[in-house]
Amino acid sequence: MNIFEKRPLCLILCIGLSGFLIFTSENIILKAAILVLGILLGIIPLFFKGFKKHKPMLLLASGALLISCLLSFLYFDLYFKAYNIYDDEIEVVGSVENVTQSSSYTNRILVKVETIDGKRKIGYRFYAYPTKASSKGIIEGSRISFTATLDCFSEDSYTYNISKGINAYASDIYDLKIIEYTEGTFRVRFSRIREYLTRYTISLSDADTGAILSALLLGERDYLPDQLRLDFKRIGISHILALSGMHLAILSIGIGKALSLIGVKKKAREVIIATFVLIYMAITGFSVSVVRAGVMLIISTLLFLLSRTKDSLTSLSVAVLIICIVTPNAIMDISLWLSALATFGIIAFSEYTASLEKPKSKISSIMRYFMLAMMASVFAISATLAVSTSSFGGFSVLAPFTTIIFSLLAEIIMYLGCIMLIIGWIIPIGLIIPPLCNLMTFLAGAFSSLKLSYVSSNFSYATLIILLYSFAFALFLILKLKKPDKAFTLIMIFYALATLLPTVSTVKQNYSETVAYYSDYKCDEMLIRSKNEVCLINSAQYSKNLAYTSLDFLEDANVTYLDKYYLTHYSWSIDDEIKVLTYNVMVDKIYLPEPRNEDEETILKIVYKTVENSRTDIVVYKEYETVYVGDYSINLLYSEPYGNTSMNAFTVAKADEIYTYVSSGLLTGENRALFDRYISLSDHLILGDHGKKYKEKIFLTDCHADLDSIIIHSDNVFLTQGSMQYYLDKCCNIYSHPENIIYFQGK
């Protein structure tokens, strides 16, 4: 197809941007490889005569790659990492861009830095986490000062925070003062306009309709139900709720048609639309996907005004370049790459189909439209497949189909919403929109409820197939092929294979009989699969942070749908745990023990409220009640009421095979004899470290001859050398504080 033919500028910019991105990696070998490649591109034409005719292009590509590597090094390695530059205590003065609640005791404040130790600094933004008491009165726009030290973000959040231009977070904060209240930065002022428009939108309709309209028109997603976000993710259309180039294109086309109807000439229309784009980017908070689309549209307008020609692909690459020049950290923003690559795929598809003949009949035209829309969606997904699957660990098999349906619905709702904002205070047009929004919500829920609407791509061979397909798709776009139609057919077959394999693997795994254990710090969890049912058992101290550990466990275990989530006891932060989990994974039922005191009754009410807007059911089980997962049964043996320790014990059994979990604190005192008996009946034993308020050494005796495996996750449980040898002689597998998932081998 050779998409870069007669587009040397676009090719050079793509090479430069790729080098800039790859050089941000912490991998020294990868950085060295990019530098070597840049040098080779420059010297190849000097030694090989066959490349002399391509000498100018190779030299330009070499220069672009080397310059981008140098700029990446200067910015990210030498400038961006503020925690390396300021490793001592510093005094910071800056303006507050955002204030949110971080926990029950602290706020999270985003500070745009003005000075550090009295010296002017430009481009630094820090997160600060002061207590609620010390940060009282601080609002967006406040100028504050504080003394702190700077720290690097954790590995999990490092890339995300870099992509948002946040250099470090401030710890050990003291002497926090409010210098003055101001109108705020340019960004803050426009965010207030967005908030006003959001409230106005909701006032003209109802809360649910207003939430969807605010997301589609203004990029304000705070009012969206968590369930709707999860549904859109599972069916592959999250981009419809996340403001992007699609939304800007819909609005720009609508404005263009409206101006055309009233007789505005082409050049004037282009100028008006470009002006609207600038204002719209500011109101929507300069999200990178909107900025990419906006800059691309403005460049296209300038090209049209100067030469009456437009080249979408060159405009796209120049737009991404401008964004990275103004905010280099945006190169790490996955939303920018997903947006740019999807646009790239759609542009490539439009060029591939430009020469196709148009059908004569209306029925053929309609069928052709839907077929082309489906294929355009496939091209957009193909361009982003490697990035999205490596980032999210899965993908929606329904995306090509659902994108067409929901894009049409979103377009209609957006146009009606714009009309409502203009004349809704006179004519109640807001009454027309709710049925459409309800239809969108209903369809999203129906598709999302299908277990296989979203499948895992974490299988090693599936990942390899997806990478190979992405490479083949790239070759299809950039090579000039003699038989493009046959190549296109092969690519589509390859796409079907790349999506079918993970789907088949997910189905096969869901029907497997599996018991797995995972532990991480305070997190103790078991996963059960049987007869297409999946259950996660959590016996740890519950907290919002550990909820993300649960998500990592599920992703590693290729789980995209939970039939049951079984909790052994109550905790003060259990609602946070459940909120995070149900926001990211479809959970059918959550099992909680029957309340035993007023505190547990209060917590249960909070949990009910947490899931009231989701399709997750709460099931309260009684003491010693059995919960079934396929052929497996779960029985709670022991659980402390809320207010005491969180010691607990339970069994998972199938036929004559028993898995027993016991908090190590139960192996002392009067409980020792009872739980020794439970252990003697078990095939697999897990000793947790939760619920202990004391440090007492516990020695596991060597009288449990039938144990096939022992997992010790407690710092207070020990095996003597003789006991260790005893269990090894019995062919018992022993794991001490395992860091990986352990899949039990059944009988």
Contacts (Cβ under 8 Å, ≥6 apart) of 618: 589, 590, 592, 604, 607, 608, 611
321, 410, 525, 684, 746 from 516: Cα distances, Å: 47, 42, 8, 11, 11
561-567 vs 626-629, strand pairing mode: unpaired
657-663 vs 684-688, strand pairing mode: parallel
**For the chain, how many residues are written?**
747
Q: What is the pLDDT, as a whole number, of residue 353?
A: 84
Q: What is the pLDDT, as a whole number, of residue 372?
A: 85
Section 153-168 average pLDDT: 86
- Is residue 522 scored above 70 in pLDDT? no
List pLDDT tens digits, range 368-401: 888 888 888 899 999 999 988 888 888 999 999 9
Regarding predicted confidence, which is higher, 191 or 23? 23
Q: Do residues 147 and 175 touch, judged by C-beta distance below 8 A?
A: yes
Sorting pLDDT into bands at 50, 70 and 90, what band is 544?
low
- Is residue 123 scored above 90 in pLDDT? no
- Residue 136 Rama label (left phi>0; alpha psi -120 to 50; beta): beta
DSSP string covering 536-565, please?
EEE-S---HHHHHHHHHHHHHTT--EEEEE
At 696, phi and psi to the nearest 5? -120, 130
Instruction: Give me 5's structure tokens.
Output: 């033919």
Which helix H or strand E contains 111, and what residues bound it? strand 107-116
- Residue 533 Rama label (left phi>0; alpha psi -120 to 50; beta): beta
Query: Of all residues in the chain, what percent carry a pLDDT higher than 90?
Result: 34
Q: Do residues 645 and 691 touch, judged by C-beta distance below 8 A?
A: yes
Q: What is the pLDDT, as a whole number, of residue 663?
A: 87
180, 444, 733 from 259: Cα distances, Å: 45, 34, 75
Q: Which residues are paired to 429 by β-bridges?
A: none
Q: What is the pLDDT, as a whole number, of residue 50?
A: 66
List pLDDT tens digits, range 651-692: 999 988 999 999 888 888 778 888 888 888 899 999 887 655
Q: What is the pLDDT, as a whole number, of residue 536?
A: 95
List pLDDT tens digits, range 620-652: 999 889 999 999 999 999 998 888 778 889 999
Task: Burial-class residue 687 by CB neighbours within 10 Å (0-12, 13-18, 19+).
Answer: buried
Q: What is the pLDDT, as a whole number, of residue 746?
A: 60
| Gap between the Cα atoms of 565 and 560, Å rounded | 13
Q: Do residues 23 and 69 touch, judged by C-beta distance below 8 A?
A: yes
